[in-house]
A = this chain, B = another copy of it.
Amino acid sequence: MSPDPVAVEEVVAEQVADLCVAAPAEGEKPKKEKKPKPQKEKKEKPAQGGGKELKKETQLGLSTKKADDFSKWYSELVVASELISYYDVSGCYILRPWAFSMWEVVQRWFDDNIKKLGVQNAYFPMFITEDVLNTEKDHVEGFAPEVAWVTRAGNSEMDKPIAIRPTSETVMYPYYAQWIRSHRDLPLRLNQWTNVVRWEFKYPTPFIRSREFLWQEGHTAFATQAEADTEVRQILDFYAGVYQELLAVPVTQGQKSDKEKFAGALYTTTVEAFIPDNGRGVQGATSHCLGQNFSKMFGIEFETEDHGKSHAWQNSWGLTTRSLGVMIMTHGDDKGLVLPPRVAPKQVVIIPIPKSSSAPEQVAAMFEQVVIIPILKSSSAPEQVAAMFEQVKAFKASLESSSVRVETDYRTNYTPGWKYNHWELRGVPIRMELGPKDMDNKTVVLARRDTGAKEFVPWDQVATRVPELLEQIQADMLAKAKARYDACVETVTTWDAFMAALNNKHMALAPWADEEEVEEDVKKRSATADAMGAKTLCIPFEQPPLPEGAVCFASGKPAKNWALWGRSY
């Protein structure tokens, strides 16, 4: 099932090389040693001792600018911001808490929504017998090259190898055939949140393309096509909601071409995102109507109200952790992550800025924090520091009671500047600063991560201003990304304009006769020495009017619709 993190089309090797992250090559093994040390990561943590940190502060931040080398910037960013660690099995990544907690937000939101529709969660085994996997021919052909096989348990060879699910249609549907007997058993709507494995041999990219990834997969069965069609679009709206409402990433909703649809589906709908920086489309999530293809293969047949027999109409739909990668690429900047407030693990970081204290142990004991090491010449009295820290705690408690996710950074072995960089790298939407002057004036400074804008806010307005500002940031981030996205859609009607759009790192919205062989042909013809060929991203649901006599930009035949084309992940 899609969204396919590892699109099936071949990719021009030079083009993807820039996406390659320094994971160990296939078959490369860590040396036999007592303490296996996976590939070293960028260390940002300074060693202990006041003076040393200051010297090492320059290590913070990214060495590459987003505009200079996008894929190097991305690879650096996901590690430096502690989202990802590279893992010693190639193409697999560790999702660290900073990343996983964003996935939890997405999960909760989507899960609540599908449950309101009547979908129930379940869990099916991850192992599939070879015979069952082979049941649906188109389907298995789509996945066979990427299937990982278990052939041994302990020291025993298995009689027959067992596959690890690349998706669960064939795992589930034999049981749907058992459970569905009558129209009264329909609809059957199940979902599961799982890991799946697609053993890609292409270059992996954190979040975007990995051999094991996390997702949800919904599998539903209905008595009629009308019901199935309706659900396909409801789910797609939720996917658009995840991207636009949570991740602040604009998407186009549409239908996949026959060439690009899911293996075995009747039709596939999709939300398509776009990365302006490298001119690549990204399939965001897909919602498929499987029609009766699988129900016929697996014998999912029911007695209708009028005592006839009918095969069920089925859908499947999936959203993966790829969504986080698209968000990171969309919003990140040269200072690091820029996280939309609704998914940010921490929405506000409060940084008290005392002058160094003359009696640090007293304050430290009071707050059970780490030992405070003087790093500035001038000093605040311990009582002043204590009052400041009390105020920070009060803000934290007050904001948390309004469900704002708050971090505090009392550490005194780092300078304020280092802390600013640190939390900017991690993408926290709002930084709240509280210094000695702010204590006198009873104000705080709120600094926005997305724009850098600062404002002074009186203490008694913090509890209302912060949630308001978070919503403002969320809206502004989407608006900004939407403006960039829209600027990347070029309406073209000729081959030359089409190629110019692609080479300008844009998408092309072009009249098309909807022919699979033309899509194949366009892909070949649009490949250049240093860029992959283009394909249809989708046929958008929102279609501009098609001018009378419009012809396909590529074949010259009478156009049937507008298709959105692009180079893509």
Q: A interface vs B, CB < 8 Å?
A: 26-27, 29-30, 32, 34-38, 40-41, 43, 45, 47-48, 85, 87-89, 92-97, 100-101, 103-104, 120-129, 131-132, 135, 144-156, 158-162, 164, 174-175, 177-178, 181-185, 190, 194-195, 199, 201, 212, 214, 297-299, 303, 305, 307, 370-371
Contact = CB atoms under 8 A, between A and B. Distances in A.
A114 to B, nearest CB: 12
Contacts of A89: 125, 127-129, 162
Given A153-B149, A371-B305, A190 B97 contact: yes
Given A152-B161, A299-B35, A121 B97 contact: yes
A76 to B, nearest CB: 16
Nearest to A180: B45
A298 B36 contact: yes
Given A27-B159, A190-B97, A212 B178 contact: no
Contacts of A175: 38, 85, 94
Given A100-B121, A127-B89, A154-B199, A47 B94 contact: no
A153 B38 contact: no
Contacts of A126: 195, 212
B303 A158 contact: no
Contacts of A120: 97, 100-101
Contact of A36 (B85, B149, B174): B174
A376 to B, nearest CB: 20
Contacts of A174: 35-38, 88
A159 B184 CA distance: 51
A152 B148 contact: yes
A150 B153 contact: no
A312 to B, nearest CB: 14
Nearest to A147: B154
A136 to B, nearest CB: 10
Contacts of A41: 178
A181 B88 contact: no
A87 to B, nearest CB: 5
A59 to B, nearest CB: 13
Contacts of A146: 153-154
25 contacts: A26-B159, A27-B160, A30-B129, A35-B297, A35-B298, A36-B298, A37-B299, A38-B174, A47-B303, A48-B303, A48-B307, A85-B175, A88-B174, A89-B129, A89-B162, A94-B123, A97-B122, A126-B212, A127-B212, A145-B154, A147-B153, A148-B153, A149-B152, A150-B151, A194-B195
A34 B184 CA distance: 26
A346 to B, nearest CB: 12
B150 A123 contact: no
Given A29-B131, A35-B177, A104-B121, 14 more contacts: A26-B159, A35-B297, A36-B131, A37-B174, A47-B182, A48-B183, A48-B184, A89-B128, A100-B120, A100-B122, A100-B123, A101-B121, A149-B151, A184-B370
A146 B96 CA distance: 28
Contacts of A144: 154
